[in-house]
Structure formats: structure tokens, C-alpha cells
Amino acid sequence: MLRIITLSEETMDDRFVVVPPSNLHLHFADLLESMDGADVTFHVAGRMFSAHRLILAARSPVFRAELLGAMKEKAGGPIEIHDMEADVFKCLLHFIYTDSLPDLQMASNQGEAHLDVMMASHLLVAADRYNIERLKLICKHKLCSHIDADMAATSLVLAEQHCCNGLKEACLQFLASPSNLEAVMTSDG
């Protein structure tokens, strides 16, 4: 008895050729790290950051207008970024190049979770400023999942200032509990 087994084209392809996941983000991270071909420099809180106009413009309509459009910055010295911490700008650049957040390392004596929440707060402001919606959503998600007595009031103000309705609803729901409201009123947040 002869038994014929036929494999579908999909099955055969998977058996013989495995396509790895994209590593484009790693190449862009290397480009940011090496600064090869960088054509714009930013001065942020005493630190200098080099980047690539086209990558920034591709990821942010605000950067596109500032770097390529009618608002184009002079091609002279570094572009000054005020009212942002250097670590926040560094994380913003990392996200722009890799579509992911780096390990967060800001100074904090209140623990790692608090550190992540504080960075998420700062990054939400930066994401809103540069109209980077995916980053803004990631930050809102992080903040919604870490609402506590220390951060509820701060997160509520942030939500109001940056039109984050879901975050605002999460804060109000947290504050609706009398015990949570009392804890917030006795905390620094």
C-alpha cells in the first residue's frame, strides 16, 4: 500500500524557510546610538542629543513642521528644548527610533514602580507636545494601571491638561471611593 501525503504550500514554506521577526527597531536604535548621519542636534537641560531629521519627521508631525516644513529651524546650532528633562527627551528619542520604551533609569527614592509612573507622566506630556499618539496611549495605559493615593490627583490634572479622557475617568473612579479619597487628601499627591 502506497500512502501519499500532500503538504499544503504554507506548511512546506514553514518547514523549510523560517522568517524571523523584524529587527528594524534594532537597526534604528544602533543608528541613534552611533549618530551616523545625524543632521540635527538638540540641547536639552544641559545635554546634547544628535538625531536624524527624516526619522523624527516621519514619526512626528510636529517635528516634520519644525524640521522640514514652514517652521523649519535654521540649520545652524543646536535646537533648544526648554521645559523638558534630558532623560525624558532621551526616552522620547528612543521611542521615536524603536517604537518601544527603554529601561527607565531616572533618580527616584520611591521605588521602581513610582519611577515608571513618573517617567510615564513626563513622557505623556512630551508625546502630546510632539503629537506621537502611540507613545501617548502607552503612557495613558501605564498611568491608568498605577493609580494610587500618591498619584491620583497628579494624574487627574495631567489628564485634564492633555485631553486624556480615559485616564480622567480612571482617576475619577478611583476617587469615587470614600476611602481612596481620604487617602488622597492625606497624601502629597
Rounded distance between C-alpha atoms, residue 153 and residue 65, angstroms: 34
Number of domains in the chain: 2
Q: pLDDT digits over 71-100, tens only?
A: 665 556 899 999 999 999 999 999 999 999
User: pTM of this prediction?
Assistant: 0.80
Give the CATH number of the domain where residue 157 resides.
3.30.710.10
Tell me: pLDDT of 140 over 80: yes
Q: Are residues 118 and 176 in the same domain?
A: yes
- What are the cell numbers at 71? 517652521
Residue 99 lies in a domain: no
Residue 97 lies in a domain: no
C-alpha angle with apex 14: 9 to 16, nearest 5 degrees? 95
Burial class (CB in 10 A: 0-12, 13-18, 19+), 126: buried
Q: pLDDT digits over 25-37, tens only?
A: 999 999 999 999 9
Q: Are residues 49 and 121 in the same domain?
A: no
Domain interval for residue 180: 110-189
Q: Are residues 121 and 181 in the same domain?
A: yes
Q: Are residues 115 and 79 in the same domain?
A: no
| Element housing 41 (H / E) | strand 40-44
Residue 23 lies in a domain: no
Q: Are residues 57 and 132 in the same domain?
A: no
